[in-house]
Amino acid sequence: MVVAPSREIVHGVAEGRWELGFGPFHHNMPAHFALHPCFSETRRLMIARDHPARAALARDAVGTMRELPLVTSFLDETARRSTGERLRDAFGSVWEVSHMELRLALVADGKGVTYVSDLLTAVPPQLIPVEGLPYSSIDRQVGAYSLRHQPISQAGARFLALCHERWPRQIS
């Protein structure tokens, strides 16, 4: 198993470096992938309840966000994006922090904003959602994927069987 940013996993499977990928499906997954959906999640943009910029958010949410850092695990390099839209452009800067508890602690301490999955049960109580922006929430389908016309190994088939056992098949 290799843990990598989701876009890197997509490229790795497409290039044949990895047989299977597991993570969020991108809006434009390659047509030559076989998709095995497992579950859905919604990521909500969160800020500390007592963040000094909360009042400014009410007056000018877009402008205020352009001054705040987004604390996230990873955002892909701009050269790897297939479209001109870049989430990073909505924020003042991007702090890449791989440790989730540290990300949550930084945001709870008023250092920036972050996205938190609705599946996470240990959300610090001082975090509240930022509403009203086109990127306030991000819905994602998560699952496994492989090259459509490539046979899957026995180990890969066992992994997919475990995924389907854990998350009964969903229609995509």
pLDDT value at residue 170? 54
Residue range 155-160: average pLDDT? 95
Instruction: Name the residue with higher pLDDT: 172 or 130.
Output: 130
pLDDT value at residue 4? 80
CATH topology of 6-40+140-166 equal to that of 41-139? yes
pLDDT value at residue 147? 96
Q: Is the pLDDT confidence value at 82 over 60?
A: no
Kindly indicate the confidence band of residue 19, based on its pLDDT and cuts at 50, 70 and 90.
very high
Distances (CA, A) of 140 to 37, 67, 106, 164: 11, 26, 24, 18
Non-local (6+) Cβ contacts of 112 within 8 A are 68, 69, 70, 71, 95, 106
Kindly indicate the confidence band of residue 77, based on its pLDDT and cuts at 50, 70 and 90.
low
Question: For 41-139, CATH number?
Answer: 3.40.190.10
Residue range 159-164: average pLDDT? 94
Classify strands 93-96 and 114-117 as parallel, antiparallel or unpaired.
unpaired
Residue range 134-149: average pLDDT? 94
Tens digits of residue pLDDT in 29-56: 889 999 999 999 999 999 999 999 999 9
pTM of the model: 0.83
Q: Which CATH class name applies to 6-40+140-166?
A: alpha beta
Q: Tell me what the pLDDT averaged over the chain comes to.
A: 89
Domain ranges of the chain: 6-40+140-166, 41-139
pLDDT value at residue 5? 79
For residues 62 and 91, give the distance between their C-alpha atoms in angstroms, rounded to a whole number: 9
